[in-house]
Amino acid sequence: MLLLLRQGRVSKWFSGIGQEAISVGCTLALRPDEYILPLHRNLGVFTTRKIPLWRLVAQWQGKQSGFTQGRDRSFHFGTQDYKIVGMISHLGPQLAVADGIALASTLRKDKSVTLVFTGEGGTSEGDFHEALNVAAVWNLPVIFVIENNGYALSTPTSEQFRCDRLSDRAAGYGMEGITIDGNGLDEVYSTISKLADSIRKKPRPVLVECMTFRMRGHEEASGIKYVPKRLLEEWAKKDPIARFERQLIRTKKLTKRDISTVRAELVASIDAEVERAFAEPDVEPSSERELREVYAPSPSTPVAENNRELKQMRLIDAVSDGLREGLRQHSDLILMGQDIAEYGGVFKVTEGFASEFGRVRVRNTPLCESAILGAALGLSVAGYRSVVEMQFADFVSSGFTQVVNNLAKSHYRWGQSANVVVRMPTGAGTGAGPYHSQSNEAWFTHTPGLKVAYPATPADAKGLLMTALVDPNPVMFFEHKQLYRSVSGEVPLGAHYIPFGQARVHREGEQMVIITYGAGVHWAHKVAEEHPEWSIAILDLRTLVPLDIASIERLVVATGRALVLHEDTLFGGIGGEIAAYIGEHLFEYLDAPVSRVASLDTPVPFAASLEGQFLPRTRLEESISRLLAY
């Protein structure tokens, strides 16, 4: 690889020279059906799992036959065939994914171990703390391996942590921690083998620090000028391959001639595999294919029985009923969130669930949003589906990387679905202030790979939620807190599904259409009822991704005037996208400019008078009047 890099035949390379014993020893110690989550210096994981070398080179070259089909580089990929889940550049988030895979093993009682790598620099990230804490609390069968190679890019360990050994941190989580010689293949293999056997019998997490050294730069372009020469000379004497060769000769397993023969055979084999990879076809760009494969194919929305019994429910009851029905229908569904078990969640959506379905499936979590969202992805990798409750939508920011970089991109990158629903109690109007009232749906409509649902009525809340549970893609499911107990309606009992991407016309009209969702639907109804002289159509989008463009077009063409209403702040809200689409594609049908009504571009204030001014409902009537008079 270094030679190809110098020849300009590859663009980037992260060398694992000096660290090979860790990758090879750990992988040999696990069963082939046990998951490993490597980093970018763990080439030995892939080769020990016997992935054809030509496919690895094709991956590094961005070829069509690579594991990501040119969509990601290096070891940023996973493969179910070899039970490997690749890294993302943020490093730390993959630790929580290992938690989720291990949780699935615990649920199945299949006596499997999951092993995940991190570097000593990665242990400074909050994701390291969260993942270890969750694993310890839940007794998950995970081996956390730290490759302590001296430097995080150019930052030495002395500037990363103050403890003598990183394994000492394990005690703070109530787990075992050991430090071993990471350059001794025998020691790595025997240590991990014994731990894996023990963990299979008694599930628990263990932290293993492997002492090694990075003999090359973080990646080749960065060089190693910052590394003292004496350190390189000292660790060169401990090179794991040379050391293992000396051991084989000393114990008369091989001779020097044998080793030379093996090396020559390997060089010839590698050269042939590399040339095969270079001969593979390049990726043929296709916009249609790229857009299609951002999302996992969704099954047809199930059709519920006709003539079902209806029951009057509040919106909060409908959400609860949808979750309960989902748990009954899907034995692989796991609920996770803070205080959702016996307490029932802060809004009591899951009250009584723990006694009905058990705490194995209705799981209280530590305050670790990032770790739980990552664990949800791990559950999906291992064949489970999950619902994660954010106590308030605002708190999802603590797990933002997991949502927008891990959940959203997994299918596009390597074909792994993420059957995860993130419940987001959202919205203002309750005097809860800046950190419990945000409408942050636009954060996620901007992220390809996520679906976004935002119901306004009880029947839609249940129907969209049950559809989200069978969708193999991550769904951000927004539930307006003020609507929880203030809005009621008839809801079908039993299974109830509403297809994503189908808006609902709440009211027909001839003069204009209000395009909205969530609380905006009810604000629009109130104004329309107070002004019977106005002929207003109301379109409830219901899902923001996918967006029902056809319904928007039909009503804009029919009325000639459009007002987009949402509770999110004006600048950067999805209303801007809808208005832009109408202006670009439906301009000739308009009798007036597209109007937008949204919240002020400030954080959500606490005081009732300020919050009332902030919300768009106080400006809606005037905006409608102005648009109709244009």
Residue 500 near residue 546, CB atoms below 8 Å: yes
* Dist. CA 411–CA 400, nearest whole Å: 18
Which one of 76, 411, 436, 480 is the catalytic residue? 436
Cα–Cα distance between 488 and 312 in angstroms, integer? 7
Helix (H) or strand (E) holding 590: none
Which run of H or of E encompasses 427?
none
- Annotation marks residue 218 as catalytic: no
Query: What is the signed CA dihedral for 554, 558, 561, 565, rounded to 10 degrees?
Result: -40
- Specify the length of the chain in residues: 630
Using an 8 Å Cβ cutoff, are 126 and 401 in contact?
A: no
The helix (run of H) or strand (run of E) holding residue 390 is none
Which stretches of 389-537 are DSSP H helices?
Answer: 400-401, 410-414, 442-445, 458-470, 519-530
Alpha helices in 251-352 (DSSP H): 256-279, 287-292, 315-329
Packing angle, helices 369-381 and 94-108, rounded to 10: 60
Six-digit token pair at 37? 């989550």
Direct distance between the N- and C-terminal alpha carbons of the chain, in angstroms, rounded to an integer: 67
Q: Is 307 exposed, middle or buried (0-12, 13-18, 19+ CB in 10 A)?
A: exposed
Q: Which residue from 64, 66, 83, 84 is spatially nearest to 74, judged by alpha carbons?
A: 66
* Helical (H) or strand (E) element with 478: strand 475-480
Neighbours of 333 (CB within 10 A): 20
Q: Report the catalytic residues.
A: 436
